[in-house]
Amino acid sequence: MREKTIGNVLRDLRCEQGYSIDEVSAEWAIPVDTLRAIEAGEIDKQFLAVVAYGIALDADLEALFKPAQREVWEVANKMRFASK
pTM: 0.65
pLDDT value at 19 more than 90: yes
Share the mean pLDDT of the chain. Answer: 85
CATH of the domain at 67: 1.10.260
Q: How far apart are alpha carbons 60 and 40 in whole angstroms?
A: 28
pLDDT at 54: 87
**Residue 68: inside a domain:** yes
Domain membership flag for residue 20:
yes
- CA 74/CA 84 separation, integer angstroms: 16
Percent of the chain topping pLDDT 90: 33
Q: Are 10 and 41 in contact (CB under 8 A)?
A: no
Q: Is residue 1 part of a domain?
A: no
The verdict on residue 58 lying in a domain is: yes
* Residue 33 is assigned to a structural domain of this protein: yes
Amino acid at 83: S
Residues 35-71: tens digit of each pLDDT: 999 999 888 788 888 888 889 999 888 888 888 777 7
How many domains does the chain divide into?
Answer: 1
Range of the domain at 31: 6-82
CA distance 17 to 49: 30
